[in-house]
Amino acid sequence: MINIPGSSHPIDQILKALSWLFGILILGYFFYLTLNIVSHGFSGLSWGFLFELPENAGRQGGIAPMLVSTVIMLILCLLISLPIGIGSAIFLSEYTQENQIFTRIIRESLIVIASIPSIVMGLFGYAFFVVKLNLGFSLLSGALTLTCMVLPLLIRTIEESLRSIPSSHRLNAQALGLPKWRIIFELLLPMASQGILLAIILSIGRAMAETAALLYTSGYVMRMPESIMDSGRSLSVHIFDLSMNVPGGEQAAYSSALILIMLLFGINSITLVLNRIITKRSVS
């Protein structure tokens, strides 16, 4: 048996050195990007920046409406996409054969949808949700468009988590006379909880950072939304507008970007803590 980590072969040493180099480069880029945003945006943070309305085209005031709009669209997106994503993943992993033509068509379709540029998905959301369904520029239109964007990622990640569970667990449960639905909800889904939470983390990151698709669906206004049918500007759209269309808005853009990163970090941390709690309970 060849022990590659301890091998003295020159090629193995070169590959190991390249792996460390790439890892350090990725880590260095992450820290550079984070420190750059923190150094430029930290001075603009305050309680007023979080809870006040924007003024002077966003150069002054706060980002309260954008925060509320972002959170509402994120919650709507997860409420819509999670049941569809988990149900589709269960269907693909438990009720279809891996090599069936129908299953392969669905998977290829998911790959194509996942690779569609966000600007094209935004045009689809505008044509279908805003115009065809007459939802207008609203938070609901934006959330539905985000749902279409994160569903392929959700379905494929959860499906792979379910398929990675050994078949012996299913056979043992069937031998005990458990019905299919109990096997799925009481055995398979808890065992795939880590993959489900990973899919949720990736989906949240994709949804919160999306800009182009929301320009055509949720709208561009900076007022506080009163319902999901109101138009609203997401935090990512606000950052784009400040940095591209508002002279003198760079400071507010950096501070808004820092808030967005902090939100992503906080949500990911909470999800990881929940993952550990679920894992400990399943083991015990």
pLDDT along the chain (284 residues), means of 10: 56 88 92 89 86 86 90 92 92 84 87 88 93 92 93 91 87 85 87 85 84 87 89 90 86 90 85 74 60
pLDDT of residue 66: 92
94 assigned to some structural domain: yes
Q: 107 with 188, same domain?
A: yes
What is the rounded distance in angstroms from the CA atom of residue 176 to the CA atom of residue 198?
31
* Sign of the torsion formed by the C-alpha atoms of 231, 232, 238 and 240: negative
pLDDT of residue 103: 84
pLDDT of residue 57: 81
CATH of residue 87's domain is 1.10.3720.10
pLDDT of residue 1: 39
State the residue range of the domain holding 33: 16-44
- Quote the tokens at residue 55: 């003024």
What is the rounded distance in angstroms from the CA atom of residue 186 to the CA atom of residue 190?
7
Q: 120 with 163, same domain?
A: yes
pLDDT of residue 6: 53
pTM comes to 0.84
pLDDT of residue 282: 59
pLDDT of residue 2: 44
* Sign of the torsion formed by the C-alpha atoms of 155, 161, 167 and 170: negative
Q: What total of structural domains would you count in the chain? A: 2
Q: 238 with 198, same domain?
A: yes
Q: 78 with 149, same domain?
A: yes
